Amino acid sequence: MIKLNRRQLALSVCSMILAAAMPAQAEIFTVAVIPDTQNYSDATLPQPRGVETFVQQMQYLVDKQEEKKLAFVTFVGDLVQHGDGQFRQKAGGDAAGQFRYWDSRSEWDNANRAVSVLSRSSIPFGMVPGNHDYDAYSWWEGENSPGTRRPLESGRAWEFYFGPKSRHFEGKPWYGGSFNQGLNSYQFFTGGGKRFLHLSLEMDPTPAALAWAQKVIDANPGLPTIISTHEWLSPAPVAKKDRPSGYEAYFEGSEHLSPDAVWDRFIRKNSSIFLILSGHHWTPTVEGISQGENLRIDRNDAGYPVYQVLQDYQGYTVGPDGNPGSANGGGGWMRFVEFDTDARKMHFYTYSSLLNRYAGRNGEKTFGTPAHYSDFKLDFPPQLLD
């Protein structure tokens, strides 16, 4: 039997304490967030310029999988511009007073082509619908409206292209299941030796969707959880930290809930949820730039912080030539969340694969908002330290 002196014993105890405090596997891994891609897919905008940017984004993620230790990718909605299948657009010039009629299957095919680049890889990912992705999306009025104003409903096209039986998800070991035509789903991924749960929730989810999501969390106790949903935060600093609600515009007369109601009924009561990712909200484009970022932090009922982050670059149209309007909306910008399990920090940064450029570096107000909305670090919350 080997005997230790006091100094050796103290060092041994110290080592054990430090080892217990360290993550199981110290590493840096990344989660990528794909903001609203509707203007890349839009059949009325210059094509194939837009869809090629979308495809290039997906190829960038696949190419950088090992380098970034890319553990997961999430889409925050509005994959297409005209989800209801058919619409019309007023013609100009000599055709004034006439309308051009479009079949938006090409938009779904554009999005499907791009997403297929990702789904052919081994990278787990999740998708949520935005208001433009519903079958009945005629929630706006005007001469180019596709029909009489009506609430959003049904996800038949979404289910066909991106539902649980689609080629993107069927048979994938990381895909957990879905609810309501695949408008809600959940996935698993691993990073830093820890297993994570990701919940993809439909826009302004219903009580039934939240009840389903609660069953998923209850079946996976203790897993740190990320939520992706379409509408959650307003852009900063235009509306500061508000959680807006599009209920009257999109879901009037239905059971859909506002972001604040979702927070009170579901988010704050589940201590495992530490991050909410969203898109949807942006400001009108000025010289090729719009504001579509924000950060809000609230405490849940357990006293843990819940990080809420907006990213929507659809109004950005500055292309590689540096001119406004030379890129379909989005300019290739994506959000990345880098998890450093040694430093216990989450680094949120923004990068365009089209422009090969980072946002918010050296104090640059890339999107007209303070640089710290584009590039910032947050401490690991308790949900990641258990």
Statement: 25-376 belongs to CATH 3.40.50.300? no
The per-residue pLDDT for range 229-250, each reduced to its tens digit, is: 999 999 987 656 689 888 888 8
Q: What is the distance between the alpha carbons of residues 334 and 340, in angstroms, rounded to a whole number?
A: 19
Under a CB-based contact definition with an 8 Å cutoff, are residues 51 and 105 in contact? no
Mean pLDDT, rounded, for 155-172: 95
Which pLDDT score, from 0 to 100, does residue 237 have? 72
Token digits of residue 361: 């570096």
Residue 11, pLDDT above cutoff 70: no
Q: Are 194 and 24 in contact (CB under 8 A)?
A: yes
Report helix angle 105-119 to 49-63, nearest 10.
10
The pLDDT of residue 206 is above 90: yes
Cα 100 to Cα 89: distance, rounded to the nearest angstrom: 5
For residue 2, name the pLDDT band (cuts at 50, 70, 90).
Answer: very low
**What does the pLDDT average to over 24-41?**
90
Higher pLDDT, 76 or 3: 76
d(CA 313, CA 282): 7
Pairing outcome for strands 225-231 and 293-299? unpaired
Mean pLDDT, residues 173-179 taken together: 97
Q: Are 125 and 106 in contact (CB under 8 A)?
A: no
Q: How far apart are CA 375 and CA 386, in angstroms?
A: 27
The residues with which 295 forms a beta bridge, in sequence order, are 309
Domains of the chain, by residue range, sit at 25-376
Q: Which residues are 100's β-sheet partners?
A: 89
**Does residue 126 surpass a pLDDT of 70?**
yes
CA dihedral of residues 150, 229, 32, 305 (deg, nearest 10): 150
Q: What is the pLDDT of residue 104?
A: 76
Q: Which strands, in side-by-side order, build the sheet including 273-279? A: 175-179, 184-191, 194-200, 225-231, 273-279, 305-311, 293-299
Per-residue pLDDT, averaged over 162-170, amounts to 97
**What six digits make up the tokens of 261?**
């109601």
Backbone angles phi, psi at 365, to 5 degrees: -85, 75
9, burial (CB in 10 Å: exposed 0-12, middle 13-18, buried 19+): exposed
Q: Which residues are paired to 87 by β-bridges?
A: 102
Instruction: Give residue 88's pLDDT band: very low, low, confident or very high (50, 70, 90).
Output: low
Label residue 20 exposed, middle or buried (CB < 10 Å: 0-12, 13-18, 19+): exposed
With a cut of 90, say whether residue 101 has pLDDT above it.
no
Least confident of 125-129, 130-134, 358-362: 130-134
What are the two backbone dihedrals, phi and then psi, of residue 119, each rounded to the nearest 5 degrees? -70, -15
**Which residue shows structure tokens 């297409």?**
80
pLDDT reading at 265 higher than 90: yes
| 8 pLDDT more than 70 | no
* Predicted local distance difference test score (pLDDT) of residue 240: 63
| Owner of token pair 């927070």 | 263
Q: What is the pLDDT of residues 40-87, one digit of tens each?
A: 999 889 989 999 999 999 999 999 999 999 999 999 999 998 887 666
pLDDT at 287: 95
Average pLDDT over residues 122-135: 94
Distances (CA, A) of 154 to 181, 255, 270: 8, 14, 28
- Residue 136 is classified by DSSP as B
How do residues 342-352 score in pLDDT, each as one tens digit?
999 999 999 99
State the pLDDT at residue 139: 53
The proportion of the chain whose per-residue pLDDT surpasses 70, expressed as a percent, equals 84
Cβ neighbours for 218, distance < 8 A, ≥ 6 positions apart: none
**pLDDT number for residue 315:** 95
91 — pLDDT class (breaks 50, 70, 90): low
Please report the sign of the dihedral spanned by the C-alpha atoms of residue 129, residue 132, residue 134, residue 137.
positive
- Each residue of 12-29: pLDDT tens digit? 444 443 334 444 457 899
Place of tokens 């400001």: 283
Q: Determine contact, residues 346/57, Cβ cutoff 8 Å.
A: no
| DSSP-derived pairing of the beta strands 273-279 and 305-311 | parallel
* Amino acid at the residue 178: S
- CA proximity to 349, closest of 341, 337, 357: 337
**Which of 42, 64, 81 lies closest to 353, judged by CA?**
64
pLDDT computed for residue 14 by the predictor:
42
Q: Compute the chain's Rg from CA coordinates.
A: 22
pLDDT of residue 98: 63
C-alpha–C-alpha distance, residues 137 and 145, integer Å: 10
Higher-confidence residue: 87 or 206? 206
- In DSSP terms, 294 is beta-bridged to 310
3-state secondary structure of 4: coil
More confident site: 166 or 252: 166
Read off the tokens for 197.
């749960």
Average pLDDT, the chain: 88
